Amino acid sequence: MSERWMIHVPVSAPDLLRARIFARTAARVLARLNARVEPGGVNVSLEDQQNVRHWVFCDQPLPDGGGRCVLPYEHNAPCSRRVPGLDRRRVPRVE
Ligand SMILES: [Zn+2]
């Protein structure tokens, strides 16, 4: 058994699209604050079907070996380690 504990924070949304958008936003904000946040593992589900998970991020390994894709699940652009338009320097990171 793993010694890691995971945090589950229930947040409701009216549909899958908005659930994914909110989950991506929350994960990106939390990841800026603490390196232990793993955005690639974030998923959403219907309240009554929590065993059917829908991924939020692509999280595919990048072809150059430089990490994982941070774009939304099923994006159309090539995989990337950066989200176009996001400035990651605004909030200081707490380690
Ligand atoms: Zn990707």
47 CA to centre of ligand 1 in angstroms: 27
pLDDT in tens, 53-78: 999 999 999 998 889 999 999 999 99
Ligand 1 centre to CA of 7 (Å) is 25
- The identity of residue 9, as a single letter, is V
Tokens of 92: 């200081």
The pLDDT score that the predictor gives to residue 90 is 57
Two tokens, residue 5? 């504990």
**pTM (global) more than 0.75:** yes
Tens of pLDDT, residue by residue over 5-43, are 999 999 999 999 999 999 999 999 999 999 999 999 999
83 Cα–ligand 1 center, Å: 10
Instruction: Compute the distance between CA of residue 32 and CA of residue 48 in angstroms, rounded to an integer.
Output: 31
Instruction: Tell the residue number behind the tokens 């176009």, with chain if given.
Output: 84
Helices marked H in the chain — which ranges?
16-33
